[in-house]
């Protein structure tokens, strides 16, 4: 059986090792290992393959923006070996049939594990619970449910959803946005929105839902996951909930860790996103929370849009930005380059913890006997960001910025999806 040996890579705990992969398993970690295909990995950091709990792959229905194939290629280039695909497709992923279709498209593409997220409500309409049990029992084995893009704003529906998924260990991922407080909102409500004359999106619209939902989760005794925290107040609520023993996890996106509402002054809709970019004080609070563990994970909220949806006036433009190929670099900037955290934490927020939240045992740990899902990063690389390499969409807010680190190899189920920075065609890895 052919084996791959990754020579002289550094693990997140600092040990320099050889890693031998046979078939789809990590067979040995040690020194002086031999194998059929030996890859020099000196200077590279080897981490468990990244897991994105929040990706929009757009298929079925919006293939002009992205497909499962192009989205998962983009993911592999970003070091991911699993992505969780949000349900706001057309048709909406609210039945066993649709989630099974998305799961199959992922297997066909072959670049990462695609786990479909099931909608909480029928058609994302917030009126009637979707068939959560049928999606959980389907071949797609859905464990994460979300109406992302929309908030489950009805408290009774949210309570019922929490009760329902508790029975089978599922989790609701809430897009926290009180719709009545954000009607027509275009950007963060604050100094900049007043100056620009754009309708403001107040922090309280996010924070009031998070406060309500952590209390509902406590009441039901269920767990809850909060998508894309964007404000200092949201961090404080999650911190309070955790201190009270409430079973809540939270995510932050790369863009909310790096960009602020000052960018809206350009009137370039590339910076229009939901939830909106906030202030410097919010960014600092989010960074601190990611470092101290209040925020559990980084998730991309990769939201591809065709050029015409962004190449227009701010008010008419779509919300969202891509981010699969740059997420690890932003995490490295915030955790490593800042000197405030380490590779163990980066591996936790981009791999172990998202896998744990999703109940996924095939990702999240680089250890002997585990499925060979890993990524190798050159931490010293400096990249000037161009457009995404594989994604169909180019709404990338980091274009022309310098970011640290580069994904050199990605290995999914024991096969290279990315080798020396280049995407490996599916035929070559089959
Ligand atoms: Zn969202
Ligand atoms: Zn989203």
What is the CA(373)–ligand 2 centre distance, in A?
24
H helix intervals, 110-190 = 132-137, 155-166
Contact residues for 299 (Cβ-Cβ < 8 A; gap 6+): 52, 53, 54, 227, 228, 251, 252, 253, 354
What is the per-residue pLDDT across 101-145, written as a single tens digit (0 to 9) for each? 999 999 999 999 999 999 999 999 999 999 999 999 999 999 999
Q: Please give the Cα distance from 66 to 78 (Å, whole number).
A: 16
The verdict on whether 148 is a catalytic residue reads no
Q: What is the mean pLDDT of residues 254-273?
A: 97
pTM score, whole prediction = 0.98
What is the CA(53)–ligand 2 centre distance, in A?
10
What is the CA(301)–ligand 2 centre distance, in A?
5
> What's the confidence (pLDDT) of residue 389?
77
> What's the confidence (pLDDT) of residue 386?
84
What is the residue-averaged pLDDT of the chain?
97
Nearest ligand atom owner, CA of 299: 2
> What's the confidence (pLDDT) of residue 427?
60
Tokens encoding 33: 């290992």
What is the per-residue pLDDT across 296-353, written as a single tens digit (0 to 9) for each? 999 999 999 999 999 999 999 999 999 999 999 999 999 999 999 999 999 999 999 9
Q: How confident is the model at residue 430 (pLDDT cuts 50, 70, 90)?
A: very low
Which is the catalytic residue, given 18, 301, 360, 378? 301
Beta bridge partners of 410: 375, 418
**SS3 for 297?**
strand
Nearest by Cα to 299 from 235, 366, 367, 249:
249
Query: In this predicted structure, which of 37-41, 212-216, 231-235, 395-399 has the lowest mean pLDDT?
Result: 395-399
Q: Please give the backbone phi and psi of residue 176, each rounded to the nearest 5 degrees, phi first.
A: -85, 100
> What's the confidence (pLDDT) of residue 365?
98
Nearest ligand atom owner, CA of 53: 2
Q: How confident is the model at residue 380 (pLDDT cuts 50, 70, 90)?
A: very high
What is the CA(378)–ligand 2 centre distance, in A?
29
Q: What is the mean pLDDT of residues 354-379?
A: 98
pLDDT at 388 over 80: no
Nearest ligand atom owner, CA of 117: 2
> What's the confidence (pLDDT) of residue 313?
96
pLDDT at 387 over 80: no
* Geometric angle at alpha carbon 80, from 55 and 286, rounded to 5°: 60
Query: In this predicted structure, which of 151-160, 225-234, 383-392 has the lowest mean pLDDT?
Result: 383-392
Contact residues for 180 (Cβ-Cβ < 8 A; gap 6+): none
């Amino acid at each position: 059986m052919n084996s791959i040996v990754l020579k002289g890579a550094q693990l997140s705990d600092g040990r320099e090792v050889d890693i031998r992969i046979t078939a789809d398993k990590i067979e040995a970690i040690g020194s002086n290992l031999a194998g059929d295909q030996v890859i020099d990995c000196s200077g590279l950091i080897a981490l468990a393959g990244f897991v994105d709990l929040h990706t929009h792959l757009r298929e079925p229905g919006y293939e002009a923006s992205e497909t499962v194939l192009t989205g998962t290629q983009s993911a592999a280039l970003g070091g991911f070996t699993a992505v969780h695909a949000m349900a706001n497709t057309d048709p909406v992923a609210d039945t066993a049939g649709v989630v099974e279709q998305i799961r199959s498209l992922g297997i066909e593409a072959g670049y990462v594990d695609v786990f479909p997220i099931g909608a909480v409500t029928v058609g994302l309409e917030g009126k009637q619970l979707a068939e959560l049990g049928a999606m959980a029992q389907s071949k797609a084995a859905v464990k994460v449910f979300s109406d992302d893009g929309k908030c489950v704003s009805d408290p009774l529906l949210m309570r019922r959803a929490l009760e329902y998924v508790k029975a089978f260990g599922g989790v609701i991922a809430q897009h926290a946005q009180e719709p009545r407080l954000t009607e027509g909102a275009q950007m963060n409500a604050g100094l900049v929105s007043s100056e620009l004359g754009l309708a403001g999106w107040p922090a309280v619209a996010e924070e009031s839902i998070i406060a309500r939902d952590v209390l509902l989760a406590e009441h039901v005794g269920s767990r809850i996951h909060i998508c894309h925290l964007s404000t200092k107040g949201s961090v404080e609520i999650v911190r309070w909930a955790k201190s009270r023993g409430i079973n809540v996890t939270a995510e932050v996106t790369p863009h909310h860790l790096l960009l602020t509402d000052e960018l809206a002054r350009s009137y370039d809709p590339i910076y229009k996103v939901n939830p909106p970019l906030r202030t410097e004080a919010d960014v600092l609070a989010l960074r601190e929370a990611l470092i101290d563990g209040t925020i559990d994970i980084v998730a991309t909220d990769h939201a591809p849009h065709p050029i015409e949806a962004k190449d227009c006036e701010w008010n008419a433009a779509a919300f969202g930005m891509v981010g699969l190929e740059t997420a690890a670099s932003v995490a490295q900037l915030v955790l490593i380059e800042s000197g405030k955290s380490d590779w163990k934490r980066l591996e936790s927020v981009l791999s172990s913890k998202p896998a744990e939240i999703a109940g996924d045992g095939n990702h999240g740990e680089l250890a002997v006997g585990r499925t060979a899902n890993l990524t190798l990063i050159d931490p010293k690389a400096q990249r000037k960001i161009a457009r995404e390499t594989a994604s169909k969409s180019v709404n990338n807010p980091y274009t022309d910025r310098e970011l640290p680190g580069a994904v050199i190899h990605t290995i999914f189920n024991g096969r290279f999806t990315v080798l020396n920075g280049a995407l490996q065609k599916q035929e070559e890895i089959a």
